[in-house]
Amino acid sequence: MQSPLFIGVDVAKAEVVAACSQMSFPVRKVANTVPELKKLLKCLPVGSCIAMEVTGIYHRTLADLAHRAGFKVYVLNPKDMRHYAKGVGMRAKTDRVDSLVIARFLAHEIKQLRAYEPPTPTQRAIDELLKRRATLVAHKTAIQLTCSQMTVLKKRAAKLTAGFDEILQFISAPSKPNAWKQ
């Protein structure tokens, strides 16, 4: 029986690169697809720990699959990893090096890390709404600023931003409980 490993994964939209801090296997590159990620996870010993950086949405599939498969999963702040890499003298910025840095960090700092717990569907829905709300606010503000100095545009922009206000009001206080789940 193989002992648990500390696995660091550099996640991108199209692929992931996995490395082991113990160098028990060569660095592996696989497609960031469910079938390929499942194959990768099946190769790892039970009880292994897997860490990856937050990537917006691209890390979610691997984090959720690994968690469901019984692995301890850690989702890390990329800024922390950048500082750690500089601190240990690993400045090259390649997927291979990034995965090795993440694995090394996990092996040395695991006691200070908080394990990943997948968000509930409601938490994910709220997160998506908050991201969209932020985008809407930014666009509304940009339209207001762009049109504020020209009277001919200012009135028309006011009509447009009223539509933004309606959507923002719905996100902030829907008329029915859980209406945003639909």
Quickly list DSSP for 2-50: PPP-EEEEEE-SSEEEEEETT--S--EEEESSHHHHHHHHHTSPTT-EE
This prediction has a pTM of: 0.78
pLDDT tens-place values along the chain, 182 residues long:
567 799 999 999 999 999 999 888 889 999 999 999 999 999 998 899 999 999 888 999 999 999 999 999 999 999 999 999 989 887 777 889 999 999 999 999 999 999 999 999 889 888 888 999 999 999 999 999 999 888 889 888 988 899 999 999 988 887 666 665 65
C-alpha to C-alpha distance for 137 and 1, rounded to whole angstroms: 54
The residue assigned the tokens 């019984």 is 70
> Which CATH architecture fits 6-112?
2-Layer Sandwich (3.30)
C-alpha to C-alpha distance for 98 and 104, rounded to whole angstroms: 10
3-state secondary structure of 53: strand
DSSP 160: H
